[in-house]
Amino acid sequence: MTPRPRDAAGTRRAILDAGRAQFARDGFERVTIRSVAAEAGVDPALVMRYFTNKAGLFAEAAALEVVLPDLTGLGPGAIADALVDRFFELFDDSPTFLVLLRAAATSGEAAERLLAVLLEQAGPALATAAVDRPAERAALVGSQILGFAFVRFVLGAPALTAMDRAEVRAWIGPTLARYLTDRDLGPA
């Protein structure tokens, strides 16, 4: 067997890619340093060298930035379209989102990280469209999106996995807009 040429950046990237794939597939608890190392084709000591431990690897594999569009001044239909489109981009383009979503079901650390993304990144953008009680309204939007994503991507419900973006927009878009803009929503 010919040894691989040394490439620290490539090795680190291979470990991170393997970790991200395993966290997305198996959640936080079932992933081990050894399984990540085996998938990356490296010695487990290298995982420790680059990431210190499984939590360090997870922290980097689960780093997620959610940039929502500016919702200021948009009507309910435009809000719904903008949010559904952005979340589909996130689902399609970010393996990190699925890492966090799967792991949050079994890991307190992952759940805290996902909640922080919702509160710190998505919350302020959603608040710009909220007619009142922005924290509650943003949390309701988050619950709808995360619930949809969990049932579609983690549980694999056929009715949801078969839906294209236009169908999702038609089904949940009005609910997202209602959560943010309906003045009659909530306690009197």
Task: Give 65 or 177, the one with higher predicted confidence.
Answer: 177
- What b-and-e string marks burial along 59-79, b requiring 16 or more CB atoms within 10 Å of the CB? eebbebebebeebeebebeeb
Q: pLDDT by residue (tens digit) across 150-165? A: 999 888 999 999 999 9
Cα gap 136→172, rounded to integer Å: 18
- Residue 1: the pLDDT is 45
- Residue 167: the pLDDT is 95
Distance of CA 17 to the CA centre of its chain: 16
Per-residue tokens: 41: 């084709």
- Residue 2: the pLDDT is 52
Lowest average pLDDT, out of 76-80, 86-90, 135-139, goes to 86-90
Q: What angle do CA 150, 132, 104 make, to 5 degrees?
A: 20
Most confidently modeled range among 4-8, 28-32, 164-168: 164-168
Q: Where are the domains of the chain?
A: 8-61, 76-181
Cα gap 86→74, rounded to integer Å: 15
Cα dihedral 48→52→58→61 (10° resolution): -80
Per-residue tokens: 57: 């690897």
| Nearest Cα to Cα of residue 127 among 140, 115, 108 | 140
- Residue 108: the pLDDT is 83
Task: Give 137 or 188, the one with higher predicted confidence.
Answer: 137
For domain 8-61, give the CATH number. 1.10.10.60
HEC states along the chain?
A: CCCCCCCHHHHHHHHHHHHHHHHHHHHHHHCCHHHHHHHHCCCHHHHHHHHCCHHHHHHHHCCCCCCCCCCCCCCHHHHHHHHHHHHHHHHHHCHHHHHHHHHHCCCHHHHHHHHHHHHHHHHHHHHCCCCCCHHHHHHHHHHHHHHHHHHHHHCCCHHHHCCCHHHHHHHHHHHHHHHHHCCCCCCC
Q: pLDDT by residue (tens digit) across 28-65? A: 888 999 999 999 999 999 999 999 999 889 888 888 78
pLDDT averaged over the chain?
Answer: 88
Lowest average pLDDT, out of 5-14, 131-140, 160-169, goes to 5-14
